[in-house]
Amino acid sequence: MTAPLLEIRGMSTGYNDVPVVRGIDLEVGAGEIVALLGANGAGKTTTLLTVSGLNPVMSGDIVLFGRSVAGNRPHAIARSGLAHVLEDRSLFFQLTVRENLRLGAVGGAGDLDQALAYFPALTPILDRRAGLLSGGEQQMLAMARALATKPKLLMVDEMSLGLAPIIVERLLPVLRQIVDDTGAGVLLVEQHVHLALEVADRAYVLSHGDLVMSGTAAELAADQHLLRSSYLGATELD
């Protein structure tokens, strides 16, 4: 068995020395889509920010591509093969789609073409300013920009935020395509539980900073009633 791309080991993290995520263990393997679920405020975004080096590890360790990255700088972590689509998508609204994509590409135009192949809807709007795009187009652009870095691990925070369910239904299979084509791993934070479990191989559930459930997506989907009533807020009932 090959080593996981990402191993979070007994990791605690938080803000101002107050832990909001406590002693969690989580793994993502190559070619695997892993969902991180949990109600608002559970600590999902904080966990991703800590993997990216944007938030400090308080205890435990994060091993990325076989090396501990706790305490490493965000740009060094990103360069090692991690792409992170933040909750706010972090686009440059004044720049065009093409310019936003170029900021992601590491190896020139070939990377852009490859990234665009997953999101053909972006091709006719390459010269449009990112600020003028629809929410779905902006999310595609954020994901295409992340892909242009040829990541070994892609983390996507709340891909579906603000998008119509039909758009989300269209975007999720693209993640599977990316994983199958490139062998990358995906760590997906998602509030639409049933959609996430449709596309994910495995999932973890965070509740108030504690990891309370994990298993294959099929196992968790079979137990969705428990999953929802126990750990996810009423707003996640979709």
Ligand X SMILES: Nc1ncnc2c1ncn2[C@@H]1O[C@H](COP(=O)(O)OP(=O)(O)O)[C@@H](O)[C@H]1O
Q: Binding mask 42-81 vs Mg ion (x if CB under 5 A, - otherwise)?
A: --xx------------------------------------
Q: In what order do the strands lie in the sheet with 202-207?
A: 82-85, 153-157, 185-189, 33-37, 202-207, 210-216
CB contact at 8 A, 107 and 150:
yes
- Report the greatest alpha carbon distance in the chain: 48
Between CA 99 and CA 161 the distance in angstroms is 24
**Interaction of residue 160 with Mg ion, rule CB under 5 A:** no
Query: Which residue in 5, 6, 24, 42 binds ligand X (CB under 6 A)?
Result: 42
**Interaction of residue 191 with Mg ion, rule CB under 5 A:** no
Q: How far is the CB of 20 from ligand X (least distance, A)?
A: 4
CB contact at 8 A, 91 and 143:
no
Between CA 103 and CA 90 the distance in angstroms is 12
| Binding partner of 41, given ligand X, Mg ion, none, CB within 5-8 angstroms per partner class | ligand X
Query: Which residue in 6, 8, 24, 46 binds ligand X (CB under 6 A)?
Result: 46
Q: How far is the CB of 120 from ligand X (least distance, A)?
A: 31
* Residues near Mg ion, by CB under 5 A: 44-45
